[in-house]
Amino acid sequence: MFPDSPKIPFRLITSTGAKSRSDIPQDHYCRRNAQVMALTHNTIFRGLNAIYHQAPHVLPGTQNATDLLFYCAVAYDFIHNHHVTEESTYFPEIEKAAGIPGLMNANIEQHRSLEAGLELFRKYAEETPKEAYNADKLRRIIDGLAGPLGDHLHEEIPTILDLHDKVSSAALRRAYSHMHNAAEKSSNGFKTGPFVLGCQDADFLLDGEEAVFPEVPWFVPYIVDYAVARRHAGAWRFNPSDMHGRARRGGASAGSSTSPGSRLFVFVGWRYTPPVFAMLCSLAVACVAVYLASAPIPERLLRGRG
């Protein structure tokens, strides 16, 4: 019913092309920036692919329908926020640093071409009552996005690499950092955190190398799993992976309404290993205290967010 790491209708980005570009200095930030953007785009692809593959197994009028529609709304918000922060922060700073007005216009024009399809997706996710849920209609909307959105997110990667001779490494790093911070501030961490962590693949290779994303402290996935994800627990059953990037099997429609973390809490924590679980809970509480001392969780969940 739910293949491991489904790769259609959106094809994942497996190479940025940087390794074949001898014209790019090895230490220029455009290389890492292209990777982070590719991993962000793959997050979108995995989320939409998961919706596409699980949609036919969700029945109208059920809690699963409500949860899947909410999950679709979270996916839309992530895409929309990504594009907005690119246009409001990232692209303008790049053009200013390069001294070339309109340098990123091609990317912005692609955003404009996607607006109608994304708006259809948003309206269906946010305005469809569970009784009117229709898997075929949802999949048709995603099919309509697959070509233009997939092309755009793939084609944006080489445009970042091409900045190597137009923008200094330090300026590009600052531009991305400012975009990242803006994205965090405009995101709801109780939605974005579980969505992003649950749309990763721990075994995925980018440019032939292990790709760790998002770049967060080791304890953050545990906090998200045991605490943050519980707020909208039903939705995260549709993630293609658990909060540690391990591929899920079986899909959501046959499962309970609890999150992976909630099930672990009940079945592993209390039935099998209570001493270990209690120790982990104590550690998690200590980590939360330290984390909250530096910033609120919703603003600091995603170090790799683009």
pLDDT at 199: 98
181 lies in some domain: yes
Residue 288: per-residue pLDDT: 56
Domain assignment of residue 285, yes or no: yes
Per the structure, the count of domains in the chain is 1
* Whether this model's pTM surpasses 0.85: no
What element of type H or E holds 92? helix 91-98
**pLDDT (0 to 100) of residue 8:** 85
Within a domain: 229: yes
Strands, E assignment, the chain: 205-206, 209-210
Interatomic CA distance for residues 296 and 127, integer angstroms = 31
pLDDT, tens only, 134-191: 999 999 999 999 999 999 999 999 999 999 999 999 999 999 999 999 999 999 999 9
- Provide the residue range defining the domain that includes 106: 18-300
| Structure-token pair, residue 96 | 């200013």
| 98 inside domain | yes
Residue 100 counted as domain residue:
yes
pLDDT digits (tens, 9 = 90+) for 6-31: 668 999 999 999 999 999 999 999 99
Assigned domain for 5 exists: no
Sort 157 into a burial class: Cβ within 10 Å, 0-12 / 13-18 / 19+: buried
Residue 4, domain member (yes or no): no
Angle in degrees, 0-180, between the axes of helices 63-85 and 29-54, rounded to the nearest 10: 160
Residue 289 has what pLDDT? Answer: 54
Of 80, 38, 33, nearest to 183 (Cα)?
A: 80
Q: What single DSSP character describes residue 215?
A: -
Q: Specify if 306 maps to a domain.
A: no
Q: Distance between CA atoms of 75 and 191, rounded to whole angstroms?
A: 9
Contact 4, 249 (CB under 8 A): yes
- Full pLDDT tens readout for the chain, 306 residues: 455 556 689 999 999 999 999 999 999 999 999 999 999 999 999 999 999 999 999 999 999 999 999 999 999 999 999 999 999 999 999 999 999 999 999 999 999 999 999 999 999 999 999 999 999 999 999 999 999 999 999 999 999 999 999 999 999 999 999 999 999 999 999 999 999 999 999 999 999 999 889 999 999 999 999 999 999 999 999 999 999 999 987 666 544 444 444 444 333 333 333 444 445 555 655 555 555 555 554 444 444 444
Phi-psi group of 17: left, alpha or beta (phi > 0 → left; psi -120 to 50 → alpha; rest → beta): left
Separation of alpha carbons 224 and 176, rounded Å: 25
- C-alpha 32/C-alpha 35 separation (Å) is 5
Q: Residue 151: CB partners within 8 Å, gap ≥ 6?
A: 110
Q: Give which of 75, 294, 85 is closest to 177, Cα–Cα.
A: 85
